[in-house]
Structures are given as C-alpha cells and as structure tokens.
Structure 1
Amino acid sequence: MEIAYENRVVAFIDILGFKNHINATACDLKYRAKIFSIMNYLKMIEEENYKGTYSLSDLGKEVSVFSDSVVISYPLNYRGGVPGIMLDIVYLQNTLLNEGILTRGGISIGDIIHKGNIVFGPAMIQAYTYESTCAKYPRVYVGGEVIQFGYNNPAPQNSKEYEMNFINRLLRIDPVDKIVFIDYLNQMEEFDEGRYEVFKENVDQTIRNGIQDLRPDVREKYEWLKTYFTYVFGLNKPAPN
C-alpha cells in the first residue's frame, strides 16, 4: 500500500512549563483537579472535531492531542484553512491562558500525514522547529509561507482583499525581534463583556505571579507576556458589546 503525503497547513502547540505544572499536582489537590480539567478540555477539542455538532472532520480537519501538545491541520484544498487554524489557536491560547497556562507554537505548510493520532512529515517537523526555535515566548510563530498561501487562496465566499485583511487582523509583528505571531490577546470580538473583564483580571494575575519566578528563563516569558498584555489592554479599549 502506497502512503502518500498530503499538502496541509499544520499547527503545533505546546504547553509551557508542563513538567512544573505536573509537579505542583503532587501535593495540591485543587491544582491537580485544575490540570485534570485542562487536559479534559484538550481531549474534548480532539473529540469534538470528529464527533461534535460543529465537526469539520468531513472537510479534512485533523486534531491530535499528545500529553502537553496539540496538533491541528487542514488540507490546503480547503480554502479558508489558514484563517481557520489561526482562529483555532486564538481560542486555544486564550482558553488555557485564562486558566494560567501559557502556550507556544508554530504554523507551517507542506507535506504531512495526519490521520487521528498518526502525525509525521516535513511540515510537522517545520512547525515543531518554529515552536522550539522561533517562538521562544508564549506566542505562536506563523511562517511566511503560511501567510502568503492564505492571502492567495481566500475562502470561496471571500474576496482576496477581505481574506488578506482578516488574516492581518489575526497577526502581530513583535516590535523587538520582528517575529510574526498570532495576536491572540487582541481579539476582543471573541469575548462577551463579562468574560472579557474576567479574562483580563485572570491574565493580569497570572503575569504577576509568573514574574516572581526566580528562574530567568521562566521569568522572561512572563515579562514578554506583560509587555504584550500592556500593549493590548493599555490602549484604553472599551470592552466589547
């Protein structure tokens, strides 16, 4: 049987500091329940893709969860997959951040086999490389090839200009290192007013706690998040209606 690669857009997302989170569950029953709830949420994302009301598996979307990592991919013949995967990441990052969990990742395009929990191929390696070497902070790096493909292949119902503007709204260029990443905090329209305010408070507290960490490599991630958070929420933006 010939096994053929498929061209897909793929995102690899990793929970930062997962080992420390697990260690904290050893003697903290409340924290153990929290981590269980988070892992259950990740498993639900996977199951919803195949069995849920809004499943996109019939369009070729695949979702796999491996312990502290999530892989999401769409076939390139599904036009609209690029902004689709970006929105998936917005929801995933913000949901976990609301619980005090930081994530990092990368998005690439290319050859991959992704069927359920079987995932391998050059595009997967590239997404993992983006996560491990480019993202650095709690952000998801987006390869230039991904952005260009999204621009040039709008969803059937959208004009090219609309698709470009929509994709650009989901992206931010870090002013320091020029890395392009998913602008997950800056998506106010994805929140109702009550959840938005609670989310801000929770993220602010997560940052305050994290910056107290004595390990430089951990603290710098929270310092980066503080700068990003201040940029987004320090613009005196009103809460969404």
Structure 2
Amino acid sequence: MNYSNRLILFVDILGFTNEIYSSINDKSKINILKTTLENLEILFRKNYSGDLMEFSQFSDSIVISFPIDYPGGIYYIVTNASFAMHSLFSNGFICKGVISVGQLYHEGNFLFGPEFLNVMKLEALENMPRITISKKLLKIAEEFPGEGNKDYPKAEIEYILNHLEKVSPTVYEIGWYKDYSSLVGESNEDTQQHYLLIKELIEKNLIKFKSIRIQKKYLYLRKNLLSSREISDFKYKLNYMRYLQLLPKHLIESTSNFLVKMYWKKK
C-alpha cells in the first residue's frame, strides 16, 4: 500500500452546522440538509464517467479526488467545483474550499495523507467564501488535457481559465459569478433569474447579519456579483447600531480565528 498522486477538491459548506442545530426544532430543515448533500454527490458522480473518482462526505465537508493523470481532470474538477457552488447557492448555502494535488490515500471510507492535511490547512486559513486553485495546476492540465484537446493543450487551458478569476499572481478562484450559462447552457433569462436568486440570498444574510465576520463573507460575494452582472437595487445598508453592538463579539471571533490560523500555520 502507498500514497498516490491525486487531484483533490476539498469543500467546506459554511453555515451547515448552524442549520443542523436549527433542524432540532425545525424538522423540515433535515430534508434540506439531506438534499443539499445528495445533490453534490449526484453532481460529481453524474459528470464523471470513470470508476477512479472517490467521493467522501463528513460533517459539513466534501472531498473528491482522482488520479493526477486522468485526461481533462483539472477541467473536470474546476467546472464541477463551480457547479457545486451554484448548487449550494440554490439550497441557501455558501462555501469555501481548495483544489490541489499531492500524495493521498482515498479509497471508499478511507481518506488520509499529506495532501489531505495540506488542503485542510489551506481551507482553514482562507477567510473568504471562495474555492481557490494554484496556478501551478494549469501545468498539469496542459500535460493531461481532455480527449478532445489532446492535440491542443493550450485550448484546454483557455477553457479552464474561462471559469477562473485571478486572486493573486499564483492563485485563482472559481468565477461562479460569470460562468453559470456556460456550465448549464441556460438562456439569458434563466441565467439572470439564477443570479437574482443568489442576490436575494446575499441580501437576506446582509440585512439580518449576526456576525461581522460572516457579514464580510457576504459583502465579498456581493462585490463579485455586482462587478460581473447587471444586477442592482441591493437593499442592504449598513446598520451602524447593530455593527457597534456586534463589535465585542467580533473581537472574540477575531481572536479565536487568529489562534486557529496560528495553529494551522504551525502544522
């Protein structure tokens, strides 16, 4: 037995734990939670034709992985990470995560290895609701393009970049705010309706925010949505009184978050 080089997507569903606690008194939420996870598993299994992919779900996280040399693997994992974000939006959730590659053992119920520790660390250090991917993985995409692009590896990169947005010189994020129609082939009207649904989700959580830390996540989503879509009339206005009331809680959260990040940086 040994580790193998595998592509890996690690996604943490934000707010899932709170919904679990809420479901104790509101049983209707149990079905929403189950449907949310089922939709993700169906999504990844439906869009993968081989038997080399592994899918694991635990608590509020999902992990998929498959061999590094799978043809078109990076394109598959990028586009389906975006699908996953849209699916979660439709069920009222946001997420953060990371796409990476490295030494991993992932078979059935067993998931461990150096790269799993690394992606957990990267996800824990991420503050914003986004799925990131290192620029270096584009070299893997060029080396193992999909069957249709095996003679045109540069075209494979172009297709992948259509679903990404640069965060830094070495890191991209999934550009969910610009690619829905290209993913699902919907009409402009249906696409606009989908983004309006996301707008309502963002707006609802900004208006009723109970944490400055969470508010910043939805403000990040709002900024991305407004920068790429013709969407206006956001009702959100900063409630200064609520903001001031939440500052002591924010201080505690920030201190806790800082300690968590220090822990992961040392691992």
TM over 0.5: yes
Q: CA deviation at 1:72?
A: 0.9
Percent identical = 23
Deviation string for 1:6-53 (max 9, x for gaps)?
A: 11110101101222122222333443432232133245457xx3xx6x
Q: Structure 2 vs 1, CA of residues 203 and 178 (structure 1 numbering), >3 Å: closer, same or farther?
A: farther
Report what 2:37 is aligned to: 39
Tell me the secondary structure at the aligned position of residue 100 of structure 1: coil
Q: Paired residue for 2:62?
A: 70
Work out whether residues 24 and 31 of structure 1, in 8 Å CA contact, stay in contact via their aligned partners in 2. yes
Which amino acid is 1:224 matched to? Answer: Y
Is 2:24 the partner of 1:22? Answer: no
CA contact (8 A) 1:108 1:145 kept: no
1:4 to 2, 5, 12: 2
Task: Say whether residues 1:96 and 2:92 are aligned partners.
Answer: no
* In structure 2, distance between residues paired with 1:40 and 1:157: 30
Is 1:230 aligned to 2:221, yes or no? no
Question: C-alpha displacement at 1:94, in angstroms?
Answer: 0.4
Query: Could you give the per-residue CA deviations for residues 42-97 of structure 1, whole angstroms, max 9, x where no partner exists?
Result: 45457xx3xx6x65343x11111113111111201212111111111111110111
Question: Structure 1 residues 179 and 24, CA, compared in 2 at 3 Å: closer, same or farther?
Answer: farther
For the Cα contact (< 8 Å) 1:100–1:202, is it kept in 2?
no
Larger radius of gyration: 2
- 8 Å Cα contact 2:73/2:144 also seen in 1: no
Gaps of 5+ in 2: 233-267
TM-score, length of structure 1 as denominator length: 0.84
Whole-angstrom CA distance in 2 between matches of 1:33 and 1:157: 40
> Match of 1:71, SS?
strand
SS in structure 2 of the partner of residue 211 of structure 1: helix
1:1-241 matched pairs, under 5 angstroms: 3-45=1-43, 49=45, 55-58=48-51, 60-134=52-126, 136-158=127-149, 159-174=152-167, 179-187=171-179, 188-191=181-184, 192-193=186-187, 195-212=190-207, 213-234=209-230
Q: Which amino acid aligns with 1:142?
A: I
Please say if residues 79 and 183 of structure 2, whose CA atoms lie closer than 8 Å, have aligned partners that are also in contact. Answer: no
Question: Structure 1 residues 55, 155: CA separation in 2 closer, same or farther (over 3 Å shift)?
Answer: closer
Normalization by structure 2: what TM-score?
Answer: 0.77
Structural RMSD (CA): 2.3
Partner AA of 2:86 in structure 1: N
User: What does the per-residue CA deviation read over 1:120-146, in whole Å, with 9 as the maximum and x for residues that have no partner?
Assistant: 111222222222213x21110102332
Contact 2:7–2:68 under 8 Å retained in 1: yes
Decide whether aligned partners of structure 1 residues 116 and 34 sit closer, same or farther in structure 2, where only a CA change above 3 A counts.
Answer: same
Do the aligned partners of 2:99 and 2:134 also contact (CA within 8 Å) in 1?
A: yes
- 1:189 deviates by 1.6
